[in-house]
A and B are shown apart, each in its own frame.
Chain A
């Protein structure tokens, strides 16, 4: 699987109700050493209820300017949340399916 298979695809909860679209993927660098850096591990997907477009970095709390752009993007991505990769049951042609008992995490990072 490559990242393009995930970005923009619809996400549904275990009952099949739509949750939004994958706006971004979040990785952590905690794998075994790969050259200079630790290998990246897919931590979770950012799911945005109203759009599958990119948040352009404004999911970070430090990204506040220019103010009008930040306001527009935060509004477009209102309700965005982090779906941890272990909460993903499967990915198929219909999109990403969350596992029963999944948790909605805050998508903001500091």
Chain B
């Protein structure tokens, strides 16, 4: 019974923890502009993150090393440092977007301006990272994040024409009024929001935090292979809601409140309340993960002691890095920059940075010195190579597409 409970808890938190501000914003923007014609990207992204998380979890369990320890060991100091700088900056950008997302979500619940919520959000994130135990933190945000299931319910309540939704999703047309350039720009953005590098820093470091051994791999594989696809379905539900309500009225999503409009129409106040709880949980959970990831990446690269399993005094530089990261995020947000825009850029830059962490993990997952008998199988390697190509193409195409389309304007 206890085993069953652990399995259910793992899967449920994986679903609830799957979404973050990047998914909320990007899938709604995409849904309102392209309908479900980019649904295939969510599928590609979810399979990719399953593959990547599963590999990095296995590497962490087999070798006891998290992502940036591997990058430092395998790429050497110079290429490793270049990798660190890029990954660290993009993670910081994502952290900024998530903290801004918490503030926007709390604004929806309170009608107090987000500027006032930003310091509260950052302080809350710091306090939880400093004080709350790792598994409690993960389980609470993951479970509350499940409130976003309301978006899946809303799709049914909106009584859509299922066959036209399916046609959109399966034939993937470029809608009238959109260029091929913007279509592919948002394809990259949606891909970047599903396969975000911090998820992997966090996942592999979390495996070390929770002291996984090879015995725990079956559970982790189940969490990933069941939880992430179901989380991906929620992403599709968000896009479908936007496609059903916002697209026909030509509403372009530029704020988090617009993401709520379909929910309000479908289920009224109660549904909106659920969605806001889901927003707060999703953004807060992701802010914890990206906040910790700022510490993980830097500490693992420089060989400092790190981790929440140590008391903060025993991992002082790790915690100091996180605090500085949060202060920088607050500083950026204090300039009055729109968190939704920061989010839109952060998912594209995530796609750009992805090969930097993906390639070392793919290589080390094949290294018998680290992995013993748990090296990648043949099928994993074939899929892994296909994804290496996809990830490289998305990363290389991102900047030209961004310039050519004026960032999707």
Residues in chain A within 8 A of chain B (CB atoms)? 3-4, 7-8, 53-54, 56-57, 60, 62-69
Contact = CB atoms under 8 A, between A and B. Distances in A.
B367 interface: yes
Given A57-B367, A57-B369, A60-B369, A66 B385 contact: yes
Contact of B74 (A54, A64, A68): A54
B83 interface: no
Nearest to B363: A56
A4 B77 contact: yes
B89 interface: no
B376 interface: yes
Contacts of A56: 74-75, 363
A66 B388 CA distance: 11
Contact of B366 (A4, A53, A65): A65
B363 A69 contact: yes
A3 B75 CA distance: 14
Contacts of B366: 63-66
Of A53, A57, A62, the most chain B CB neighbours within 10 A belong to A57
Nearest to B364: A57
Given A56-B363, A57-B363, A60-B369, A65 B79 contact: no
B75 A54 contact: yes
Contact of B76 (A54, A60, A62, A66): A54
Q: What is the interface of chain B mostly: helix, strand, loop, or mixed?
A: helix
B63 interface: no
B362 A7 contact: no
A7 B81 CA distance: 14
Interface residues of B, number: 20
In the A-B complex, the 9 residue pairs with the closest CB atoms: A66-B381, A65-B366, A62-B368, A66-B385, A54-B76, A65-B381, A57-B367, A56-B363, A4-B77
A4 B77 CA distance: 8
Given A56-B363, A57-B363, A57-B369, A66 B384 contact: yes
B367 A63 contact: yes
Contacts of A3: 77
Interface string B66-90: 0000000011111100000000000
Interface string B342-383: 000000000000000000001110111100000110100100
17 contacts: A3-B77, A4-B77, A7-B78, A54-B74, A54-B75, A54-B76, A54-B79, A56-B75, A57-B363, A57-B364, A60-B369, A63-B368, A65-B381, A66-B381, A66-B384, A69-B362, A69-B385
Interface string B281-321: 00000000000000000000000000000000000000000
Nearest to A65: B366
Contacts of A62: 368-369
B298 to A, nearest CB: 19
A49 B273 CA distance: 65
A65 B382 CA distance: 10
Contacts of A53: 79
A62 B373 CA distance: 12
Nearest to A4: B77
